[in-house]
């Protein structure tokens, strides 16, 4: 009895080429990563995320205090305080800042400077009214830096 020759094994998988740093190309197995969404994350949202991260570093003992964090981050203590003051906002305002839509081109409508008077307010109810007013002004395009 004669046996038939074995059938060749065929493996099909998607691959893509990726251009890395300094133009180096590499072959990746699997589907290509989706392109990033257009636009950029608003700076105030990045600052809010940074404040949350810094708070965690202090809480976990990775750094002793804000002064040490400012030194490590190469910013002044005053600037770090401005950033950390974003944590004084009501939780729903913090969430709204983190969820701001991406910015396509041009200037951002809401900046950290716009939020400083709101962070200085202790009452979350008042903060929410101030935030609503800021959002209304930015939608109309009447905010000033």
> Quick check: is 128 in a domain?
yes
- The alpha carbon of 44 is separated from its chain's Cα centroid by a whole number of angstroms, namely 9
Mean pLDDT score across all residues of the chain: 90
Confidence of residue 5 (pLDDT cuts 50, 70, 90): confident
Q: How confident is the model at residue 15 (pLDDT cuts 50, 70, 90)?
A: confident
Round to whole Å and give the CA distance between 144 and 109: 9
Q: Count of domains in the chain?
A: 1
Residue 56 forms part of a structural domain: yes
H or E element in which residue 98 lies = helix 91-98
Q: Look at residue 62 and tell me if it is in a domain.
A: yes
Measure CA 21 to chain center: 23
At residue 4, the pLDDT reads 81
What span, in angstroms and rounded, lies between the C-alpha atoms of 41 and 81?
Answer: 22
CA distance 82 to 4: 77
The predicted-structure confidence for 23-70, as pLDDT tens digits, reads as follows: 777 777 777 778 888 899 999 999 999 999 999 999 999 999 999 999
**Domain annotation covers residue 145:** no
Q: Which residues does 141 contact at the CB level (< 8 Å), separation at least 6?
A: 109
Interatomic CA distance for residues 86 and 97, integer angstroms: 10
Domain contains 65: yes
CA distance linking residue 145 with residue 138, whole number of Å: 11
* pLDDT class of 1 with cuts at 50, 70, 90: low
Task: For residue 64, tell me if it sits in a domain.
Answer: yes
Give the residue among 98, 80, 79 at the shortest CA–CA distance from 89: 98
pTM of the model: 0.74
pLDDT the model gives residue 18: 75
Q: What is the pLDDT of residue 144?
A: 64
Give the structural domain span for 76.
43-101+109-140
Instruction: Work out whether the CA dihedral 119, 123, 129, 132 comes out positive or negative.
Output: positive
Tokens 């994350």 belong to: 41
C-alpha–C-alpha distance, residues 50 and 39, integer Å: 20
32, part of any domain: no
Residue 95 domain-assigned?
Answer: yes
Q: What distances in angstroms separate CA 54 from CA 46, 83, 84, 121, one per listed residue?
A: 12, 10, 8, 22
Q: What is the pLDDT of residues 71-100, one digit of tens each?
A: 999 999 999 999 999 999 999 999 999 999
């Amino acid at each position: 009895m004669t046996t038939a020759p074995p059938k060749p094994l065929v493996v099909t998988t998607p691959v893509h080429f990726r251009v890395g740093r300094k133009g180096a190309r590499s072959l990746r197995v699997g589907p290509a990563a989706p392109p990033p969404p257009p636009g950029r994350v608003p700076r105030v949202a990045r600052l809010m995320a940074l404040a949350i991260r810094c708070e965690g570093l202090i809480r976990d003992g990775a750094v002793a205090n804000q002064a040490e964090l400012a030194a490590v981050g190469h910013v002044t203590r005053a600037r770090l305080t401005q950033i950390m003051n974003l944590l004084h906002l009501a939780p729903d305002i913090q969430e709204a800042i983190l969820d701001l839509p991406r910015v396509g081109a041009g200037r951002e409508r809401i900046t950290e400077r716009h939020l400083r008077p709101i962070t200085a307010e202790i009452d979350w109810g008042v903060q929410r009214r101030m935030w609503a007013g800021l959002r209304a002004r930015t939608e109309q395009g009447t905010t000033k830096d």
